[in-house]
Structure formats: structure tokens, C-alpha cells
């Protein structure tokens, strides 16, 4: 299993040309030069996993006034597409909790990091220690289910994934992008404590109370956000990021303005510049309305 960073040929130059053209068009608009990046589950999406009309209208206003908007999520491209298709994304989305950037406008991966061989060895030890742990391997259009439980069953149903269970990791294609470990929160706490011994060369992040993810080293939403800001020519001070859980922590730290929703994990409020409304109360619209007031 090879680890590395892949940057698609021509991406930076294409962005530069696009940035010049957009700059000419948006120079006099109030949000020109600003970028808003939001997490999806627990932030943009409400409890019904929907984008509220209030959030959608606010995002459209932000983009119409020259702002750049995109998503940062642990989801894969196929899971995000139905949302991306109804939103005015003006930059590649950060997927896999920071291991990939995907351009939905051109249907292509523009940047990604992959897991090293150390991930396979660590995963085997974790699986041996915790036989009831659910395991999903992400190395294709849908996850491979290496081991299933009630949490992976729910995840499969929610996302409508169809791939059958795979009994051996040796049969899986490479490279691996991420591994998702799924169990009830109390059991997953035990798993997380056990994984402290495997921190070198891997990123372990809790993306939900029921999910613990293995990602490549230096592959967080925060690392990907820095790559995106550099490629799109966005000043850090003009980058606003929103999130709700521990997988958003590095992103909120590295943005110019980090904003935690009212329902966020307590750890996020310690690093954020601001808080906003609950994700069931149109949190993204709340942030954009704040920006509109500040811009007046």
C-alpha cells in the first residue's frame, strides 16, 4: 500500500486562469475574495439530512455577491453529489475528512492523500482486539465492508450503499483513502484508547460519536483547507469555516474565522472565533446574515 499526495496535472494553472477571470467580474462585489467552507452533517444539513430553503437562499446570495462557497465533509463524492448538484459550489469540495479534494463541476479528483502500509497493520491489530467492531474501507466508488455490525448496517441503509461484505482485506484494491471504524459510542471509546499506540504516520479522528476514522498523515480538513486557500488565492483572514465535530477541529483552527454551530462538540468552542445557531435552525444562513451585517 503506497502513501502519498497526488495533485492532478494542470489544476493550479487552471485555477489561476479562472481566478483572474472571476476577479474581473466580482471586483466590486461585497464578498469578493471571501470563501465560506462548511461541514455537512450536523452543520449545513439538518437532522433530516436536508438543506433547508433558508440555508440554500443564503448561500446563493453569498455567491451572487462574489463569495466563494464549498463543502468539507467525511463523505465520498457519490454521497455528496445530490447536495452539490443543488448548491452553487465555486471551489472543489473537501471529501474523506481532508484526504481528497473533488471538483464537482468537472467530475474529477484534483488532490488526494492515501494511506500507507502501516494502516493495514494497525487495522488488523484493532480488528483482532475488538471482534464486534464494524469496518468500512474506502478505496472505490463505495466502501468495502470488511466487518459489519448494527452501526454499519444503519450507515449502509442511510447512504444506500450496495456493495456486499468482503471477508479479506487482501482482496481489496489499492490505494486506500480512509478506513471508518463503527460501533456504539461506549465501545468505540475503548477502541480509540487502544489506537493511541498507532498514532505515528496515521491520523485518527472521531467524526461522530459512532465513527472513528483512519486517515493518512497530515490529512485533515484543516490541511486540505490550506491547500485550497493557496490554490484559490484566498487570504486566511477572509476564509470562514463552519463545523460541529472533532473532524472539523483542524479546519476551524486554520481558517481565518472558525465558527462552531450551537450543537457542536464542546472541544470546538475552545478554538473557535464565533458560534452560531443550531444546525436545525439554519446555521449557515445565520453566518451569512452575520457577514452581510458586517459588510454594511
Give the CATH number, domain containing residue 151. Answer: 3.30.1240.10
Comparing CA positions, the residue from 50, 79, 83, 81 lying closest to residue 156 is 79
Q: Identify whether residues 256 and 123 lie together within a single domain.
A: no
Domain, as residue range, for 105: 4-113+219-295
Q: What is the pLDDT of residue 20?
A: 46
pLDDT in tens, 21-32: 555 554 579 999
- Neighbouring-strand partners of residue 172: none
Q: What is the pLDDT of residue 100?
A: 96
Q: Which residues, at least 6 apart from 175, have a Cβ–Cβ distance to it below 8 Å?
A: 1, 2, 3, 114, 115, 139
pLDDT in tens, 248-284: 999 999 999 999 999 999 999 889 999 999 999 999 9
Point out the domain boundary residue: 216, 238, 254: 216
Q: Identify whether residues 108 and 122 lie together within a single domain.
A: no
Q: Identify whether residues 131 and 95 lie together within a single domain.
A: no
Q: Identify whether residues 104 and 152 lie together within a single domain.
A: no
Q: Identify whether residues 157 and 258 lie together within a single domain.
A: no
Rounded CA separation 215/130 (Å) = 20
Percentage of the residues of the chain whose pLDDT score is greater than 90: 83
Q: Identify whether residues 10 and 138 lie together within a single domain.
A: no
pLDDT in tens, 217-248: 989 999 999 999 999 999 999 999 999 999 99
Point out the domain boundary residue: 188, 216, 244: 216
Torsion of CA 282, 259, 18, 226, to 10 degrees: -150
Point out the domain boundary residue: 216, 231, 247: 216
Rounded CA separation 137/143 (Å) = 5
Q: Identify whether residues 10 and 91 lie together within a single domain.
A: yes
Using the Cα atoms of residue 265, residue 266, residue 268 and residue 274 in order, give the sign of their dihedral.
positive
Q: Does position 74 have pLDDT exceeding 60, yes or no?
A: yes
Q: Does position 17 have pLDDT exceeding 50, yes or no?
A: no
Q: Identify whether residues 224 and 148 lie together within a single domain.
A: no
Q: What is the DSSP letter of 35?
A: E
pLDDT in tens, 100-141: 999 999 999 999 999 999 999 999 999 999 999 999 999 988
Q: What is the pLDDT of residue 295?
A: 79
Q: Identify whether residues 17 and 46 lie together within a single domain.
A: yes
Percentage of the residues of the chain whose pLDDT score is greater than 70: 91
Rounded CA separation 150/156 (Å) = 10
Classify the phi-psi angles of 179: left when phi > 0, otherwise alpha if psi is within -120 to 50, otherwise beta: beta
CA distances from 99 to 20, 95, 137, 159 (A): 28, 7, 14, 20
Rounded CA separation 274/245 (Å) = 15
Q: Identify whether residues 21 and 10 lie together within a single domain.
A: yes
Q: Identify whether residues 14 and 81 lie together within a single domain.
A: yes
Rounded CA separation 232/101 (Å) = 13
3-state helix, strand, coil in the chain (%, to 5): 40, 25, 35
Q: Identify whether residues 193 and 96 lie together within a single domain.
A: no
Q: How many domains does the chain have?
A: 2
Q: Residue 264 is placed in which grid cell?
A: 457542536
- Neighbouring-strand partners of residue 135: 147, 181
Q: Residue 228 is placed in which grid cell?
A: 485550497
The reported pTM is 0.88
CATH code of 288's domain? 3.40.50.1000
pLDDT in tens, 46-64: 999 999 999 999 999 999 9
Q: Does position 11 have pLDDT exceeding 90, yes or no?
A: no
Which of 36-45, 159-168, 235-244 shows the lowest per-residue confidence on average (mean pLDDT)?
159-168
Amino acid at each position: 500500500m503506497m502513501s502519498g499526495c497526488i495533485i492532478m496535472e494542470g489544476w493550479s494553472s487552471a485555477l489561476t486562469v479562472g481566478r483572474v477571470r472571476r476577479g474581473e467580474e466580482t471586483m466590486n462585489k461585497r464578498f469578493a475574495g471571501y470563501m465560506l467552507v462548511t461541514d455537512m452533517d450536523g452543520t449545513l444539513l439538518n437532522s433530516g439530512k436536508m438543506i433547508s430553503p433558508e440555508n440554500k437562499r443564503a448561500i446563493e446570495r453569498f455567491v451572487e455577491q462574489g463569495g466563494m462557497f464549498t463543502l468539507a465533509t467525511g463523505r465520498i463524492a457519490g454521497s455528496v453529489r445530490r447536495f452539490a448538484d443543488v448548491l452553487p459550489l465555486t471551489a472543489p469540495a473537501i471529501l474523506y475528512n481532508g484526504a481528497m479534494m473533488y471538483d464537482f463541476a468537472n467530475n474529477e479528483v484534483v488532490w488526494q492523500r492515501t494511506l500507507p502500509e502501516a494502516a493495514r497493520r494497525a487495522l488488523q491489530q484493532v480488528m483482532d482486539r475488538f471482534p464486534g467492531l464494524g469496518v468500512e474501507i474506502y478505496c472505490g466508488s463505495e466502501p468495502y465492508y470488511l466487518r459489519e455490525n448494527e452501526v454499519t448496517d444503519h450507515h449502509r441503509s442511510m447512504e444506500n450503499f450496495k456493495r456486499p461484505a468482503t471477508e479479506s482485506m487482501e482482496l481489496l484494491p489499492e490505494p486506500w483513502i480512509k478506513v471508518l471504524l463503527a460501533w456504539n459510542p461506549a465501545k468505540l471509546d475503548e477502541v480509540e484508547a487502544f489506537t493511541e499506540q498507532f498514532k505515528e504516520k496515521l491520523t485518527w479522528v472521531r467524526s461522530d460519536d459512532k465513527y472513528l476514522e483512519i486517515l493518512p498523515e497530515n490529512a485533515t480538513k484543516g490541511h486540505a483547507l490550506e491547500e485550497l486557500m493557496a490554490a484559490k488565492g484566498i487570504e486566511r483572514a477572509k476564509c470562514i469555516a463552519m463545523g460541529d465535530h472533532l473532524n472539523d477541529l483542524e479546519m476551524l483552527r486554520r481558517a481565518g474565522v472558525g465558527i462552531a454551530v450551537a450543537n457542536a462538540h464542546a472541544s470546538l468552542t475552545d478554538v473557535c472565533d464565533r458560534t452560531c445557531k443550531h444546525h436545525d435552525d439554519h446555521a449557515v444562513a445565520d453566518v451569512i446574515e452575520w457577514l452581510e451585517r458586517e459588510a454594511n
